Homo-oligomer: A and B are copies of this chain.
Amino acid sequence: MPDPTAAMLVIGDEILSGRTRDSNMHHLAGELTRVGIDLQEVRVVPDRHERIRAAVTALSAGHDHLFTSGGIGPTHDDITADAVAEAMGASIGVRADARALLEAHYAKSDQVLNEARLRMARIPQGAELIDNPVSAAPGFTLGNVHVMAGVPAIFQAMVASVLPRLTGGTPVISRTLRVERPEGDVAGPLGETAAAYPDLSFGSYPFIRNGVFGTNLVVRGQDADRLAGGVAALARALPEAVEE
């Protein structure tokens, strides 16, 4: 059975304007690889209802899972929940279970559950809540869409609580050979080895370090023995390569 597939949607003007450097994509990519879910596409869109709705519609239809990041806070530009609800054909309003979570949280602090914060209890009907151990306001799973916060600490906590619910695949394992030669020198032997092992993936990632052009060769696969065979063949073709 092929591995489950996933897409990610990052929502926020601040990423597209260059004000904020997104880190959630890199975090999610690593976690999905670890559990054997194949991340096939990421999109970044602004805080605009129609752009979010259209992206959710397209990406949730094309993948087993869609993970979103951002736009579920208390301010006027937090519109993700409504856009996801519309894309998935669900109704949305303040839900008692989410409201209770917020009430319990604010009762313990000197903050009040005002009208703005109550916005964070707007959850689509039929969605399952995702725990937020940092600031209480929950994310949610609606159909195959997992809606999470943009603040990295909260995003990471939500990913940690969602992933164990999902059926993973066979984790992809990888091994890296590093060679201090430019990519153009290794492309020939690399391509020949890749052609001989069509069930493995051979990636070539050039780098420049201390003025030296080098290449990291990453071999990926799901079977450790087969991977070992591909790595050994590549090492024979490029004797100066060293395993990272």
Q: Which A residues are within 8 Å of any B CB, using their own CB?
A: 10, 13-23, 25-33, 39-47, 51, 73-78, 111, 114-117, 119-120, 134-135, 151, 153, 172, 174, 182-188, 190-191, 194-195, 201-208, 213, 218, 220
* Contact residues in B for A195 (Cβ distance below 8 Å): 76
Main secondary structure of the interface of A (DSSP, over half): mixed
Contacting pair B14 A218 (CB below 8 A)? yes
Contacting pair A44 B18 (CB below 8 A)? no
Q: Which residue of B lies closest to A76 (CB)?
A: B191
* Contact residues in B for A134 (Cβ distance below 8 Å): 208
How far in angstroms is the closest Cβ of chain B from A73? Answer: 5
* Contact residues in B for A41 (Cβ distance below 8 Å): 16, 43-46, 51
How far in angstroms is the closest Cβ of chain B from A193? Answer: 10
* Contact residues in B for A13 (Cβ distance below 8 Å): 201, 203
* Contact residues in B for A194 (Cβ distance below 8 Å): 76
Q: A184-B116, A205-B20, A208-B134 are in contact. Are A190 and B29 (CB under 8 A)?
A: no
How far in angstroms is the closest Cβ of chain B from A31? Answer: 8
Q: How far is the CA of A155 from the CA of B151 in the complex (A)?
A: 28
Contacting pair B76 A19 (CB below 8 A)? no
Q: Provide a sorted-by-A list of 9 A–B residue pairs whose CB atoms are within 8 angstroms.
A: A18-B31, A19-B203, A41-B46, A73-B187, A75-B183, A76-B194, A111-B185, A117-B187, A120-B184
* 15 additional A-B residue pairs with CB within 8 Å, beyond A21-B26, A76-B187, A76-B195: A15-B25, A15-B42, A16-B42, A17-B29, A41-B43, A41-B44, A42-B44, A74-B183, A76-B191, A111-B184, A116-B184, A116-B187, A117-B187, A120-B184, A153-B208
Contacting pair A190 B42 (CB below 8 A)? no
How far in angstroms is the closest Cβ of chain B from A107? Answer: 14
Q: A74-B184, A76-B194, A187-B117 are in contact. Are A16 and B43 (CB under 8 A)?
A: no
